[in-house]
Structure 1
Amino acid sequence: MKYYISDLHLFHEKAIQYDHRPFDSIQEMHEVIVKNWNDRVTNGDIVYILGDISLRGKNEDLIAFVARLKGRKVLIKGNHDDLSDYRYQQLFTEICDYKEIQDSIGKEKYGLILSHYPIFSWKDMGRGKILLYGHTHESKEDKFYQSCLRQMQENDCRHAYDACDGKIRACNVGCMLSYMDYTPRTLEEILVGVEVKE
């Protein structure tokens, strides 16, 4: 099974206030994240973390925390990820800036672009490839980005008009979003969650 999540911001006190996260403390947030993660992810699963796990990588507590999370972890680097500690790097199966993969829902295959950052125009966006991203949290910036994509499609922009099912899909997988709920999610859960939110 493949799962996706971003912007955990572990050990980041200000993230609770910034995102209006429903926690009274960092410890409470950490407990919820570990429980949600380990209740559904097995060690045979792959979890694509689309950046910003924490503000630092040279931290014994962070290394111990991430080591507790089940699954093979692939990190798509974010602007807050400090990977200078070799021990921390070893917790990940792969670390990269950008990745193209395939995933399935039932018998239907989907091409995915994984990036920490929202991309205005991505490879094969008009041929059904879905962008999964983070970084913008649940912000005015994210609403503006999604509005721009809708306007591209509505105005028959070159990369947008011939999308396979008639729509461009870029899905924010920030953990604080209601359909993510601080839990790694499958592609199917993400697509359903985005539809419900719209």
Structure 2
Amino acid sequence: MNFFIADTHFFHADLLGWNDFAPRLFASTAAMNQAMIDAWNARVDANDVVYHLGDIAMNPENVPDDADVLAILAQLHGRIVFIKGNHDYRSLFKYLHAHDPKLNGQDKFSFHDVGAIIKENHKQIFMTHYPLMMGIVHQTLNLHGHIHHSSVHTATNINVGVDAPERDFVPDLPWGSPLNMRDIETIARGKADVLAKSK
């Protein structure tokens, strides 16, 4: 099964507590990190693929060491496809590739600089870090992150970030859970209904 997430921002201490950008109500980054690890592993198993749409951890000055990021990612179930976000950096991707913990003899990690496209449930899924303005499309969704507690006012743009307001359409999921395609379709329908009513 495929899952989708963005903007985990592991180790990002500035997000702790109440703020207008991405409030994360944890006493420490360790508690925040563990909540995301637990939510991820409750949904994802070794045979799944998780598309991480950017901003794995905060920029280098906030992260003690690339090995600390690897230690978090190695705990996460499944294979992970990383799409580079604005807070990701090439040296981290190189480090993760060089120290890939492998999963059943295959690479656990793979990497894309700009984005990736898959087909699922008869839909084209464009996955990017930044939201795309695609115009009129049919059977096409843009899954993205980057804008945290904001939403693009188009039903075909789905923010899959940890802090995304779209997650209100799937309220039973623990904070930090990767989204599956059923969740994405629920969000897309809910968002379309809300936007239609606001016209």
Partner of 2:97: 89
Amino acid corresponding to residue 96 of structure 1 in structure 2: D
CA contact (8 A) 1:83 1:89 kept: no
Moved more, 130-139 or 49-58: 49-58
Counterpart code for 1:80: H
Contact kept in structure 2, 1:46 and 1:72, CA below 8 Å: yes
Paired position in structure 1 for 2:82 = 75
Q: CA RMSD in A?
A: 2.1
Q: TM-score, normalised by structure 2?
A: 0.76
Deviation track 1:29-87 (CA, whole Å, cap 9, x = no partner) reads 11111111112211111000000011247522111111111111001110001230433
Query: What's the CA shift for 1:103?
Result: 1.4
Q: Following superposition, which runs of at least 4 residues in structure 1 exceed 6 angstroms of deviation?
A: none
| 1:60-139 matches, cutoff 5 A | 60-85=67-92, 86-90=94-98, 91=100, 92-104=109-121, 109-121=122-134, 125-139=136-150
Q: Does 1:26 align with 2:33?
A: no
Q: Aligned pair in 2 of structure 1 residues 115, 22: CA closer, same or farther (>3 Å)?
A: same
Partner Cα distance (1:137, 1:94) in 2: 22
Alpha-carbon distance in structure 1 between the residues aligned to 2:9 and 2:72? 12
Q: Which runs of 5+ in 2 are unaligned?
A: 101-108, 195-199
The structural deviation recorded for 1:89 is 3.0
Q: In structure 1, give the amino acid aligned to 2:77.
A: K
Q: Which amino acid aligns with 1:59?
A: D
Further displaced range: 185-194 or 65-74 = 185-194
The amino acid of 1:138's aligned partner reads H
Q: Which amino acid aligns with 2:29?
A: I
Q: Equivalents in 2 of 1:196, 1:46: separation in Å?
A: 25
Question: After superposition, where does 1:41-56 map in structure 2 within 5 Å?
Answer: 41-56=44-59
